[in-house]
Amino acid sequence: MRIHPLHTDIPAPERFTFPFCYEPHPLCLLAAKEVQLELQTMTLTEGKMFGVLVVEAQHPSPNTHPPTPYSFLAAYSGLLEGRNDWPYFVPPVFDAQQPDGHFKQEERRISAMRDESQHEERRQRSQDLQLWLFHQYNILNARGETHDLVEVWRDYHCSPRIQRRYPLPPGGTGDCCAPKLLQYAYLNHLKPVCMAEFWWGPSPKSEIRHHGQFYPACRGKCKPVLTWMLQGLDVDPSPDAEGFPKLDISVVYEDDSIAIVDKPSGLLSVPGRTERHSVATIAQQRWPGSLLVHRLDMWTSGLLVVAKNRNAYRNLQQQFSEHTVEKRYVALLSGPWPAGKPTRGTISLPLYADPMNRPRQVVDYTLGKPAVTDYELVDSTPSSRREQGEALIALYPHTGRTHQLRMHCAHEDGLGCPIKGDELYGQSADRLYLHAEQITLTHPTTGQRVHFTSKCPFAE
Q: Write the CA distances from 439 to 101, 252, 262, 325, integer angstroms.
A: 62, 12, 11, 7
> 217 to each of 175, 177, 426, how far by Cα in Å?
12, 8, 16
Q: Are 169 and 149 in contact (CB under 8 A)?
A: yes
Per the annotation, the verdict on 256 as an active-site residue is: no
* DSSP code of residue 278: B
Please choose, from the candidates 293, 306, 278, the residue with its C-alpha nearest in 3D space to the C-alpha of residue 400.
293
Contact predicate 244/265, CB 8 Å = no
Of the listed 297, 364, 379, 430, which one is catalytic?
A: 297
Listed in sequence order, the residues at least 6 apart from 184 whose beta carbon sits closer than 8 Å to its beta carbon are 2, 73, 75, 90, 91, 190
Q: Count Cα neighbours of 61 within 13 Å in the Cβ-side half-sphere.
A: 11
| SS3 label, residue 128 | helix
8 Å CB contact between 306 and 284: no
Q: At 162, which helix (H) or strand (E)?
A: helix 160-165
* 337 within 8 A of 391, measured Cβ to Cβ: yes
**SS3 of residue 224 by DSSP:** helix
Catalytic positions: 297
